[in-house]
Structure 1
Amino acid sequence: MTPPPALGQRYVFVVLALIFLALLVSAGVRSTPGVLLLPLQETFGWSRETVSLSAAIGIFLYGLVGPFAAALMQTLGIRRTLLGGLTLISLATALSTLMREPWHLVATWGVLSGLGTGCVAMVLGAAIVNRWFVARRGLMMGLLAASTATGNLVFLPLLAHLASQEGWQTVVLTVAVASAALIPLVAWLLPERPADVGLRPHGAPADYQAPVASAPGNLFRVTLGTLAMASRRRDFWLLFLTFFVCGFTTNGLIGTHFIAMGHDHGLSQVQAAGILALMGIFDLVGTTASGWLTDRYDPRRLLFVYYSLRGLSLIYLPFSGFAPEQLLLFGIFYGLDWIATVPPTVKLTNQSFGEKSAPVVFGWVFCGHMLGAACAAFLAGALREHFGSYQEALVLAGLTGLLAALMALWIGRPSAAGAGRSAVPEAG
């Protein structure tokens, strides 16, 4: 394909918009179990712990697939990987309309949707930014990361309304159709590399030479070899653990359980989804601003601020009484910080491991994010069943946020730099 002549170099922003839409739909898929939690409990009698388990499995696989998807994008190609992920998401969510047993829920919304969304995750954004942009990478990564918030903004109020008025099957069909609609757009509009359509990355000089593409090779050797190299570095574990906390305090806890929390305090599903949408609006602002700040300031200090504010806001929430004005304050304050951690984390990964290895290393760091989210999704449900409230889960998550703030300050310290960088096994 060739971009329209009138667009020329600006076609990179068409690619950016297309990936934004793909990540937006993937975020909507991953947030849907939070909408289904109460309807499935009412329809089938399944406990919150059971539904939370399927959500946790989906979140865990979403993260685990990330590094393999990043390596697959380097070998098989971004376009093919994205098309495969969208196809699997659409099929898995459509099949879930037929479920009648808990294992059906685990198979569709846990295993299959987790595998599919893992190919349409933040590692996709990191790969696109590294390949299509030289200037303003922090800002562009902030925009793509904000798609998660926009996914909540677009999908949650609509899905909550459909769940209350039309039933849970209409909810999953809506998600399936949204995923399927993107497949022809990606096939038509997404080139593999800028050079394939006669372009160079945004901000690159006229004499820019793109890195030589990796030849197809052993996916597991590249992915696991990169993990072996990275795991010998202290920076990797600091990035992994701080991002574990990021997932623990966002997708897994608030993303999965906030509607149920609101229900415990007398809010309807639509009202609770509206608060999540408010968070989405402010995270769209906060994460984009974080990308701009990441291009200009020390990303470690930014992470310290973000994790500290998030931890304090979560500790505050169970003592707020869930009054409307208190939830409004929480939604704004917490929303600005929802995933503002992504641009600084990507930049620190690039600085620590170099641009060639960074996409796969970030895939493993992102795996930590979703492992944390999976733990929170299941643990919060279990604690709710045991104690009858979410207070313990919220306070625990808040304390982990404060711990992550301190860990972030140690990323990239000179004592870790002397460890040396081992070569990453090449594909082929």
Structure 2
Amino acid sequence: MTDRGTPAAAGAEVAGSGRRRVPRVHRAWLVAGVTFLVLLASAAFRSSLGVLLVPIEEDLGWSRTDTSIAVSINLIVYGVAAPFAAALLERIGVRRTAVVALLLICLGCLASTVMTAPWQLSVLWGGVIGVATGSVALVFGAIVVNRWFVARRGLVLGILGAAWATGQLIFLPLLAATVDAFGWRAAAYVIAGCCAVLLPVVALVLRDRPSDVGLEPYGGVDDEVVVVAPPTATAAVVHAVTVLREVVATRAFLLLAGTFFVCGWTTNGIISSHFVPAAHDHGMAATTAAGLLAVVGVFDIVGTIGSGWLTDRYDPRVLLAAYYGLRGLALLAVPALLGPSVEPPLLVVIALFGLDWVATVPPTVVLCRSAFGAERGGIVFGWVFAAHMIGAGVAAAASGAMRAASGDYTSAWILAGALAVAAAVGALLLPRRVS
């Protein structure tokens, strides 16, 4: 009898020869493809609240302060969930984590259609959807890549990082159009339906490790990886905290977490959460502004995959410095360029946003692994990613407060640009390894 969990199950046995042939396409690429879809859904559905803010406020009579609090909670919970998810993945597995997360997103969206008070938005989008999307965010992708790939790690990290951009490319214009035509509740139904469609695909394809299907990782055995699953879920959480305690005082961690804090501030914190409302303040239609975020998505697919390719070949510290420096210049230019129509200079800035939107991810993941080792690198990146989303959450609240105080977002754009320039300097101070 053929073991369904081995390569023979994929048609690998040669008739009459008693030998098995290796599948032409390694299963790692199929796993990476489904992981891309999970990350795409996570990023798109988390960031969709930016498109829903104004319609929810107008429909339910809530203030920008009410909705900004929900966005802030969503971003922070999304990030803080990551390191614990990284540890729990060792206990409950990649596939079960993804299935549970998609179910929670689906239920959270459906429940949000009957909200009657601002605190419910904070609980559902901030808490439930924040935890769910944070559990299947970039840390999830980094762990899948570290388990399934030895060769092409940087490239695959770049491809999976582009899932964030593709989520915006596909879903934000669709959701904006759905809101215009049918209302914000219809957009929530669309999100829930997409999660329901993705669930069986994840259940059928994802596996925790190559050994579960009788394979080695793509590119051969990784001698650095030592898999020791925590005996309980509680032990997994304790392990995540222990790793943080061990690394938190090192220069490498402080600089990686600090620069990624700024990365979150200057992407999810201000652009994803406030670009559409800021453009609306200048007379631009919401669908047009969402379309510009889609343009960011198009360029980020190129930029992030290209960053993965570059990370396999060049010093990741220099790459990070270049990415943050260019982002800072683009942010500083935004206040002078926003208006009711889209002019060529604004398109140039949008293209710059796109090219380095998630380009910071491959070099940051590689630096976490090289500085802290294969065994702790995933959890360390989880904490660094938490810093990213805390930065995003603080920025979402701070940018909303600046707008409420001054009547526009000019000071928020200038602050974000200055922070990005500071992060460029910090990236050059990163060590390759912890001494």
Normalising by structure 1, we get a TM-score of 0.94
Residue in 2 that maps onto 1:175: 191
Aligned residue for 2:121, secondary structure, equals helix
Select 1:35's aligned residue among 51, 62, 65. 51
Q: Is residue 337–residue 345 contact of structure 2 (8 Å, CA) maintained in 1?
A: yes
**Using a 3 Å threshold, how does the CA distance of structure 1 residues 410 and 199 change in structure 2: closer, same or farther?**
same
Q: Is residue 8–residue 199 contact of structure 1 (8 Å, CA) maintained in 2?
A: no
Residue in 1 that maps onto 2:328: 311
Counterpart amino acid of residue 118 in structure 2? P
Counterpart amino acid of residue 150 in structure 1? T
1:55 aligns with 2:71: yes
Residues 266-318 of structure 1, C-alpha deviation per residue, up to 9 Å, x if partnerless? 11111001100000000000000000000000000000000000011000110
The CA distance in 1 between the partners of 2:313 and 2:163, in whole Å, is 22
The CA distance in 1 between the partners of 2:334 and 2:69, in whole Å, is 24
Q: How high is the sequence identity, in percent, across the aligned residues?
A: 47
Select 2:93's aligned residue among 46, 62, 77. 77
Q: Is residue 154–residue 362 contact of structure 2 (8 Å, CA) maintained in 1?
A: yes
Select 1:147's aligned residue among 163, 185, 189. 163
The CA distance in 1 between the partners of 2:228 and 2:10, in whole Å, is 25
Select 1:4's aligned residue among 2, 10, 19. 10
The CA distance in 2 between the partners of 1:47 and 1:210, in whole Å, is 50
Select 1:406's aligned residue among 425, 428, 433. 425
**Using a 3 Å threshold, how does the CA distance of structure 1 residues 331 and 159 change in structure 2: closer, same or farther?**
same
Residue in 2 that maps onto 1:223: 240
Select 2:390's aligned residue among 340, 350, 371. 371
Counterpart amino acid of residue 296 in structure 1? R
Residue in 1 that maps onto 2:313: 296
Counterpart amino acid of residue 105 in structure 2? I
Gaps of 5+ in 2: 13-22
Aligned residue for 2:323, secondary structure, equals helix
Q: Is residue 33–residue 55 contact of structure 1 (8 Å, CA) maintained in 2?
A: yes
Residue in 2 that maps onto 1:125: 141
Counterpart amino acid of residue 199 in structure 1? L
Q: How does 1:227-266 map to 2 (within 5 A)?
A: 227-266=244-283
The CA distance in 2 between the partners of 1:61 and 1:45, in whole Å, is 25
Residue in 1 that maps onto 2:367: 348
How far apart are 1:326 and its partner, in Å? 2.5
Residues 103-138 of structure 1, C-alpha deviation per residue, up to 9 Å, x if partnerless? 111111111111111111111011001000001111
Which portions of structure 1, spanning 4 or more consecutive aligned residues, are displaced by more than 2 angstroms? 1-9, 207-217
Counterpart amino acid of residue 163 in structure 1? V
The CA distance in 2 between the partners of 1:43 and 1:321, in whole Å, is 26
The CA distance in 2 between the partners of 1:65 and 1:259, in whole Å, is 26
Aligned residue for 1:331, secondary structure, equals helix
How far apart are 1:9 and its partner, in Å? 5.0
How far apart are 1:214 and its partner, in Å? 2.2
Residue in 1 that maps onto 2:18: none
Residues 312-344 of structure 1, C-alpha deviation per residue, up to 9 Å, x if partnerless? 100011012435123211111211111110000
Select 2:401's aligned residue among 370, 382, 386. 382
The CA distance in 2 between the partners of 1:86 and 1:267, in whole Å, is 33
Q: CA RMSD in A?
A: 1.6
1:189 aligns with 2:208: no
The CA distance in 2 between the partners of 1:212 and 1:257, in whole Å, is 41
Residue in 1 that maps onto 2:293: 276
The CA distance in 2 between the partners of 1:291 and 1:349, in whole Å, is 15
1:339 aligns with 2:354: no
How far apart are 1:232 and its partner, in Å? 2.6
**Using a 3 Å threshold, how does the CA distance of structure 1 residues 161 and 222 change in structure 2: closer, same or farther?**
same
The CA distance in 2 between the partners of 1:210 and 1:241, in whole Å, is 27
Aligned residue for 2:217, secondary structure, equals coil
Select 1:211's aligned residue among 203, 209, 226. 226
The CA distance in 2 between the partners of 1:10 and 1:220, in whole Å, is 33
Q: Is residue 94–residue 172 contact of structure 1 (8 Å, CA) maintained in 2?
A: yes
How far apart are 1:12 and its partner, in Å? 1.0
Gaps of 5+ in 1: 419-428
How far apart are 1:257 and its partner, in Å? 0.9
The CA distance in 2 between the partners of 1:112 and 1:261, in whole Å, is 27
**Using a 3 Å threshold, how does the CA distance of structure 1 residues 208 and 376 change in structure 2: closer, same or farther?**
closer
Aligned residue for 2:357, secondary structure, equals coil
The CA distance in 2 between the partners of 1:178 and 1:95, in whole Å, is 16
How far apart are 1:211 and its partner, in Å? 3.4
How far apart are 1:154 and its partner, in Å? 0.5
Q: Is residue 60–residue 370 contact of structure 1 (8 Å, CA) maintained in 2?
A: yes
Q: Is residue 200–residue 208 contact of structure 1 (8 Å, CA) maintained in 2?
A: no
Q: Is residue 227–residue 375 contact of structure 2 (8 Å, CA) maintained in 1?
A: no
Residues 14-60 of structure 1, C-alpha deviation per residue, up to 9 Å, x if partnerless? 10010000000011111111011110111112111211110110110
Deviating more after overlay: 126-135 vs 74-83: 74-83
Residue in 1 that maps onto 2:119: 103
1:160 aligns with 2:166: no
Aligned residue for 2:10, secondary structure, equals coil
The CA distance in 1 between the partners of 2:407 and 2:172, in whole Å, is 25
The CA distance in 2 between the partners of 1:253 and 1:337, in whole Å, is 15
How far apart are 1:69 and its partner, in Å? 0.1
Residues 381-419 of structure 1, C-alpha deviation per residue, up to 9 Å, x if partnerless? 1111111111100000000000000011111167xx33x
**Using a 3 Å threshold, how does the CA distance of structure 1 residues 212 and 364 change in structure 2: closer, same or farther?**
closer
Residue in 1 that maps onto 2:346: 327
Aligned residue for 1:274, secondary structure, equals helix
Q: Is residue 371–residue 432 contact of structure 2 (8 Å, CA) maintained in 1?
A: no
Residue in 1 that maps onto 2:411: 392
Normalising by structure 2, we get a TM-score of 0.92
Q: What is the aligned length?
A: 415
Residues 132-153 of structure 1, C-alpha deviation per residue, up to 9 Å, x if partnerless? 0001111100100110000000
Aligned residue for 2:26, secondary structure, equals helix
